[in-house]
Amino acid sequence: MSVRMKSLSHTQESKYLNSMKKMVIITASVLLLSISPQAHSAGVTEGSKCKKANAVTKTGSQSFICLKSGSSLVQVAKFKKCAEVISSGRAPIVRETDPVLYMANAGLDRDKDGIACDQ
Render pLDDT for 3-12 as a digit per residue (tens, 0 to 9).
455 566 778 8
User: Is the domain of 93 the same as that of 72?
Assistant: yes
CB of 111 within 8 A of CB of 98?
Answer: no
| Parent domain of 23 | 2-35
Burial of 81 (0-12, 13-18, 19+ CB in 10 A): exposed
29, pLDDT greater than 70: yes
Dump pLDDT digits (tens) for 46-102.
999 999 999 999 988 899 999 999 999 999 999 999 999 999 999 999 999 999 999
User: Is the domain of 29 the same as that of 57?
Assistant: no
Dump pLDDT digits (tens) for 90-119.
999 999 999 999 999 999 999 999 999 987
User: Is the domain of 61 the same as that of 110?
Assistant: yes
User: Is the domain of 58 the same as that of 100?
Assistant: yes
